[in-house]
Amino acid sequence: MSKIERLVAYTLFLMPVLWAPASSFAQSPFDGTWRIKMDVSKLPPPPPPPPMFFSVNKGMYDCFHCRPNIHVKANGQDQPVTGQYFDTISVREVDPKSIAITFKKNGKTVREETLAVSDDGNTLTWKITRHWENSDQTVSSEITYTRAGKAPAGANGTSGVWSGRINKEKVSEYDLIMTYKSRGDELSMSTPIGLSYTAKLDGKDYPVKGWYQWNSVSLKRVDDRTIEETYKRDGKVVEVNKLTVSPDGKKMTIVETSKPTGGISTNVAEKQ
């Protein structure tokens, strides 16, 4: 090959690179580690928890508000269930006025609950600890319920129909941090508590790791600074998040919409 031929070949090789869009090489505005600022985030009052109707009676636990309903022995042993994000449940009567429930997935604890009724039988305190799949960190909540229906005769005092309100929820520092990294039309997200995914911005479902209540996510680019995340469990939409990075690249606004409750919250994160 002559010198001129080599020069022409080299020029042809470079042309696609030289003419590639600048955005192919520019860092995505989402790239980096972000921390949610709770003091400037706008969290609406949580919607009232849905009414609960369950019974622990004659050695059996019946959850009538669960979808699908749960009917298992209340003997403190793991009982298989289907149609839930957990695959076993164990229910134990602690005393006549309280019970303890443990939910597991593939042998690992997903969630723990303690339910205790007041001496007058009209107030139920429900304490919940949720476990992350790949982390020792937990999220805890406490909900107070008011009796709306009598307990069945002979049942544990926690049994009956209840309506409630959320008292408090404890969120750890690890729950506030997330890291995004882009590569072409692909975006990866990870957190210190083990929640992660790698997905293309093509609207298709990709696996989510580290959280029992979600197992897939789809991404859609709204514009250069806005991406929509749709989280699903077994193909059913659970949560939709719209992430928008400010023009200076220092702030990200995350609008979260819970599909089961319809609740909307707005979180503000700063780049670290």
- Looking at the chain, the whole-number percentage of residues with pLDDT higher than 70 is 82
Question: Among 3.40.50.300, 2.60.260.20, 2.40.128.20, 3.30.700.30, what is the CATH number of 20-38+174-271?
Answer: 2.40.128.20
pLDDT tens column, 160-193: 999 876 655 556 676 789 999 999 899 999 988 8
Q: Give the pLDDT confidence score for residue 1 in this predicted structure.
A: 46
Output the CA torsion sign for 106, 111, 114, 115. Answer: negative
User: What residue segments make up the domains of the chain, in order of their start?
Assistant: 20-38+174-271, 52-170
CA distance 250 to 156: 54
Question: Does pLDDT of 15 surpass 70?
Answer: no
∠ at Cα 264 (41, 178), nearest 5°?
50
Distances, alpha carbon 200 to alpha carbons 78, 225, 253, 270, in Å: 39, 16, 21, 24
CA distance 134 to 257: 25
pLDDT category of residue 17 using cuts at 50, 70 and 90 = very low
Q: What is the mean pLDDT of the chain?
A: 84
**What's the predicted TM-score (pTM) here?**
0.58
pLDDT tens column, 48-99: 566 889 999 999 999 998 889 999 999 999 999 998 889 999 999 999 999 9
Question: Does pLDDT of 43 surpass 60?
Answer: no
In sequence order, the β-bridge partners of residue 161 are 53, 149
